[in-house]
Structure 1
């Protein structure tokens, strides 16, 4: 018998013995009620401290599978958004940076849904689910206090439209603009072709643009640029919007230098949707060399326009 239980029993006896002493009756009742309260509070604390042991899934890395019409399988998936099927409903269980070990309060056979997460516009603070990758689904058998490894294999959604420049064919779908002081050249490394441009001497501007796009979807429909790049200088990705009587230049984002190849996902959805009554649009990459004592260069590949 616990200390509190003994005290409660003793107080019951005291009350019976001293029932005739009216002066102490109120005090005894208050003390008795206080001890009962302590007893129940102690019991509640014990129950709250009992935590259910979770099961775990672990995702070390993910892959992207593409076909010939979808271009390169390079990706920059940084996060996973995890959902589970519970009582015929799909519940969101959180977004996790990779690699991730994820606790789940489920056991036995469980259906898990995983969405690919990216850094929108390359910004760490704007992590989103990427609209153009399919949801990965898998059935796993979860065991309490055990870890199940999952290796998600993502694919592009089947209704995505692609315009791709990977420099592997004859000719290119992009060209320098009238602003550009230099042209780019196509180089090959380890069997892979890519574009290279360098600003030196008195050259200040490099600008390359895509072909014209007409009738891009609006009303909030997703439109993205994917770009693999490395550079030693900041550059702009933007769009020229053609209207019947004018051309508007919209700078979308500034991209910071990277010494190693990096993929960025550039969200053009709002820009395209707001370009009401445009006749066409084209997208560009622009470097303006700010320090003439140093060369400025950029290499880029696997340019994809998705909508």
Structure 2
């Protein structure tokens, strides 16, 4: 019985965190209010994935203020995180951004503020579309085009009630998805939107020599 007790104590001592011994259990604090992109695109970065000297320190919803058992000069690497499909329980790093890396000085029982700036990775292929004049939509009294909006030159404003169902179709310039990455590579359809009712996002899939398939992708809540 005594041998077992001594063995467990030894395991406990050897498994102590190295940072625990240098800080005597007193943490330093890091504050991250937001992660910004170095280009003029809209973003929805919700989380910071934090690594210090190569060690994963956790995922923190922004704005964040959290303790770490480190002090002195450290290398901090921050990855921008998102809610995959907008679902809070599915948090991932955004695969198209580089991480932000910096060397900072942490002080025990003090807060260090970090303002990470991330950049798009090279050779990222994408299609950006809006409601500019090159598209043809059937606008009516319940569906109007607006200009000078917060996300660019054009947008669309929809007024709906129970008797209307509005569907947006790209007619003149259908989007081509012929070169979508395969075998699990990350591919995102991203929308800038504001809505006070749920709506469905879908697509039409055209296989050679087969009828067009209408595919519902995701119901989006207000």
TM-score normalised by the chain length of structure 2: 0.77
Cα distance per residue 1:209-261 (max 9 Å; x no partner): 4523212111111100121111232111122221121322221110112xxxx
Equivalent residues in 2 for 1:1-307, closer than 5 Å: 52-66=25-39, 72-85=40-53, 90-167=54-131, 170-172=133-135, 176=137, 185-189=145-149, 192-199=153-160, 203-209=164-170, 210-244=174-208, 245-257=210-222
Relative contact order, CA 8 A, sep 6+: which one is greater?
Answer: 1
Deviation at 1:106, TM superposition (A): 1.9
Give 4+ residue runs of structure 1 displaced > 6 Å after superposition. Answer: none
Tell me the distance in 2 between the aligned counterparts of 1:201 and 1:124: 30
Contact 2:203 2:214 in 1 (8 A): yes
Q: Structure 1 or 2: larger strand share?
A: 1
Mapped to 2, the partners of 1:107 and 1:250 lie a distance apart of: 52
Question: Which structure has greater helix proportion?
Answer: 1
| Distance (whole Å) between structure 2 residues aligned to residue 148 and residue 200 of structure 1 | 50
Equivalent residue pairs, number:
201
Q: Quick one: distance in 1 between partners of 2:85 and 2:77?
A: 25
Given the two structures, how large is their TM-score scaled by the length of structure 1?
Answer: 0.57
Distance 2:161 2:33 in 1: 43
Q: Please, which runs of 5 or more residues in structure 1 have no aligned partner?
A: 1-32, 67-71, 258-307
- Measure, in 2, the Cα distance between the counterparts of 1:107 and 1:123: 35
Ranges in structure 2 where 5+ consecutive residues have no aligned partner: none
